Chain A
Amino acid sequence: MTVQSGRGIGDVDASGAPDVDDELVRGFMLTRGRTRATVQELPIETVVSVTMTLDARPVACRREHQRVRDLLVGPMSIAEVSAHLMIPLRAAVVIASEMVAAGLLTAGTTVDSSDIDLLYKIRTALQLL
């Protein structure tokens, strides 16, 4: 990640105090102001990683996408993207969902409590924790 890459919600104003409203605006500049994705939105726990075959894809990589790609040296959830880039959760959902739809990111699957085998696995893992 370059030092010059635009910082988001953690910026402070000249007085040194964060301005909540300005921060919020800056967070959504990453999504060009949009609070809804144009594609199916992914849950916040979805783990994403950079698509390895990116070079083969004829998809333009915008600057805001680059910030997400710079962050993703390994897989992490959309919530973690939000926390590390210091952008609102919704902004991270919008941008990550659109990048997955565009093939720029690969998404893992999310699971719920309907998978009983998974629940047993989780219980065992918690007991061993």
Chain B
Amino acid sequence: MTTSHTPAAPAAPSTGFAVSARTTQSAKIVIAGGFGVGKTTFVGAVSEISPLSTEASMTAAAAPHDDASKVATKTSTTVAMDFGRIAVGEEIVIYLFGTPGQRRFAFMWDQVSLGALGAVILVDTARMAESHAPIDYFESKGLPFVIATNGFEHSPVGTAEQVREALSLGSHVPVVQIDARERNSVKHALITLVEHLLVIKATAASHAMA
């Protein structure tokens, strides 16, 4: 689909998937983590487009009514969310959404995580506590996730077991050590997530048969 961005003639009849979204399937993966932990770097390392930025606003997302005057009060919180995409074959596109991990931005997690394949939680081992909020959230929503520790020079290097212990995670949660600047490293984290999903599916299927 990346080669089909030619505008069609205005009155042209539909000629198939090349210029239509009809046969396109899309999915999303959440990349969560605290400020400066490397979410945008992670997304940019594998995205086929330069990461784009969009803006979520708390007032708008939380407002249950249609009142324009309430949209832009001084108390509204807006947060930028960077994202990228990966084409899988001709008709499948995966979007990677980098979302802030701080609890005060939790208002946007629902919109981003609902229907997501899963999440990669980026962790700086010098600031482990920042990961508790997204971990609690994804666990409560039943969204599978993997932990990716981004290698910072100042940060302690721990084994997967130590990281799990520090984050109070079960042994089933994969922990990978990555460098968010490295494409192969980021690929590895994403593949680990997809394989984790496959394990979960296989386990569920075997339980269903038992």
Give the distance in Å from the alpha carbon of A9 to the alpha carbon of B18 in the complex: 31
The answer to whether A108 touches B68 (Cβ under 8 A) is no
| B13 cross-chain contacts in A, Cβ below 8 A | 52-53
A25 at the interface (CB under 8 A from B): yes
By size class, the interface of chain A is 35 or more
A118 at the interface (CB under 8 A from B): yes
The answer to whether B11 touches A55 (Cβ under 8 A) is yes
From residue 56 to 81 of chain B, which have CB atoms closer than 8 A to chain A? 56-57, 59-61, 63-64, 66-69, 71-74, 76, 78, 81
A63 at the interface (CB under 8 A from B): no
Give the distance in Å from the alpha carbon of A6 to the alpha carbon of B72 in the complex: 19
B57, B78, B93, B97: which contacts A47 (Cβ < 8 A)? Answer: B93
Q: Would A35 and B97 be within 8 Å (CB), given that A24-B72, A49-B19, A121-B92 are in contact?
A: no
The answer to whether B117 touches A77 (Cβ under 8 A) is no
Q: Would A108 and B54 be within 8 Å (CB), given that A32-B68, A73-B5, A90-B60 are in contact?
A: no
Give the distance in Å from the alpha carbon of A104 to the alpha carbon of B109 in the complex: 29
B5, B56, B63, B67: which contacts A88 (Cβ < 8 A)? Answer: B56
Q: Would A43 and B71 be within 8 Å (CB), given that A88-B56, A113-B197, A126-B187 are in contact?
A: no
A97 at the interface (CB under 8 A from B): no
The answer to whether A25 touches B201 (Cβ under 8 A) is no
| B78 cross-chain contacts in A, Cβ below 8 A | 20, 24, 88
| A80: nearest chain-B partner, CB-CB | B52
Instruction: Pick the most buried of A9, A21, A49: most chain B CB atoms within 10 A of its CB.
Output: A49
What are 12 A-to-B residue pairs whose CB atoms are below 8 Å? A21-B73, A24-B72, A35-B61, A46-B26, A74-B1, A75-B20, A77-B85, A90-B61, A109-B25, A110-B28, A113-B197, A118-B92
B residues in contact (CB < 8 Å) with A: 1, 4-8, 10-15, 19-28, 46, 52-57, 59-61, 63-64, 66-69, 71-74, 76, 78, 81, 83, 85-86, 88-89, 92-95, 97, 111-112, 114-118, 144, 183, 187, 190-191, 194-195, 197-198, 200-201
